[in-house]
Amino acid sequence: MSFLPTNYEVPSAGDKYAKFKQGDNRFRILASPILGYEWWIDGENGRKPVRTRMGNPIPVEFAEEYKHFWAMPVWNYQTEKVQILEITQKSIQKALKALAQDEDWGSPINYDVVVSKSGEGLETEYQTTPKPAKTLDPAISKAFKELSINLEALYDGADPFADQGEVVVEEAARILN
């Protein structure tokens, strides 16, 4: 008998957010993305992202550092969880936009997508491949419905997984400190 179960992995603290790993990353988009711009600032707890909606001005000091982003809830087949996926890679954005506008494919909410990542650093490349349309597994739909995700909270630097009561308490604590 071993100390830990076979194939045990320590859970990641950041398991609410999907990241593209080397190789194939299969996911199912569960809702339309929010769109905007993001840049990073240094804070007392390290670097953190600042996001704003499309059309809002970007501070001059970040005019050359910002990235366009999409953020959306997805079912990540690797982690078997509903997570938020943020896409800043233009090649992936362009591929998903083309699929959504294609009359044969339509909205990526209706099929799985595989993003294959290869290379590292400036040599990183992404290939986006749609999978044949299929009905969303009822267990995935149930998992998504049981979560309360407020993507708009990302614009305020808040936790999109927190319920509104938690957001109010966090905001009050921030103001009082």
Asked if residue 168 is part of any domain, the answer here is: yes
Q: Is residue 108 situated within a structural domain?
A: yes
Structurally, how many domains does the chain consist of? 1
Does residue 17 have a pLDDT over 90?
yes
Q: Is residue 87 part of a domain?
A: yes
Write out pLDDT tens, residues 23-80.
999 999 999 999 999 999 988 888 999 999 999 999 999 988 999 999 999 999 999 9
Position 8 in a domain: no
In a domain, 3, yes or no: no
Q: What is the DSSP string of the chain?
A: --SS-TT--PPPTTTTEE-PPSEEEEEEE-SPPEEEEEEEEEETTEEEEEEEETTS---GGGTTT-EEEEEEEEEETTTTEEEEEEE--HHHHHHHHHHHH-TTT--GGGSEEEEEEES-GGG-EEEEEE----PPPHHHHHHHHHS---GGGGGGT--TTS-HHHHHHHHHHHHH-
Instruction: Establish if 5 belongs to a structural domain.
Output: no
Residue 7, domain member (yes or no): no
Domain hosting residue 156, numbered range: 17-176
pLDDT in tens, 66-112: 999 999 999 999 999 999 999 999 999 999 999 999 999 999 999 99
Q: In terms of pTM, does the model score above 0.95?
A: no
Q: The CATH number of the domain where 129 resides is what? A: 3.90.198.10
Residue 34 falls within a domain, yes or no?
A: yes
